[in-house]
Amino acid sequence: MQAVDRAGARPVQAEPHGGLPAAVRRQARAAAALALAGTPRRAQLGWDDLAAWPAWAGWPADRRDRLLSAAGAWYLAPVLRQCIDGRVLQALAGMLGQAEADRLLQSDGSGEPDGPWPDLSPAMLADRLAHTGREVLLAAVASPALRLVLREVFWPDTRAPLPALDTAAAAAALEAAARAEARP
């Protein structure tokens, strides 16, 4: 059976970009163009940039903030797994939920995050995870031009970190955080 567009008039063609139907990709690009209509750099983005529009960019701020914390935690999982400060681990469970914190701490991932290990004091944990999560979300965006525009739209008072986060590690952390987001 072949998929057809909403009107049923013609088959929906799959595009090579992620295997999504062309109609779905057009909708995503249109939503991105509409959301970015008032931004000065909008003219610098092409269709391929708009095709890289992440789903989280259309979410309400509170949902996006939860994803930031989860993505930051998963990116810093190697550090968090080695943490022995019960106060930090309690704060982590309070932010992510006990089940997700347990899943993160029991995950068998290896490696270390890029750069120096951050201060993970209980008082700084929420800010650290949100900051790291923001960089994870942006690093996982395929288009460098769109990354810059998203930073200006959502976090205009920040600058990109130097060195930049590893894109593959950021994408893996975002995928793990998105699995938690999908759970009821």
pLDDT confidence of residue 12: 32
Residue 132 has pLDDT above 60, yes or no: yes
DSSP 139: H
Cα–Cα distance between 140 and 124 in angstroms, integer? 24
Higher pLDDT, 180 or 170: 170
Kindly report the pTM of this predicted structure.
0.77
Mean pLDDT for the chain overall: 81
For tokens 């998203």, name the residue: 150
Residue 47 has pLDDT above 70, yes or no: yes
pLDDT confidence of residue 51: 81
Residues 6+ apart with CB under 8 A from 97: none
Higher pLDDT, 24 or 19: 24
What does the pLDDT average to over 106-120?
68
For the beta carbon of residue 172, count every other beta carbon within 10 angstroms: 18
Tokens of 58: 């259309």
Cα–Cα distance between 123 and 101 in angstroms, integer? 17
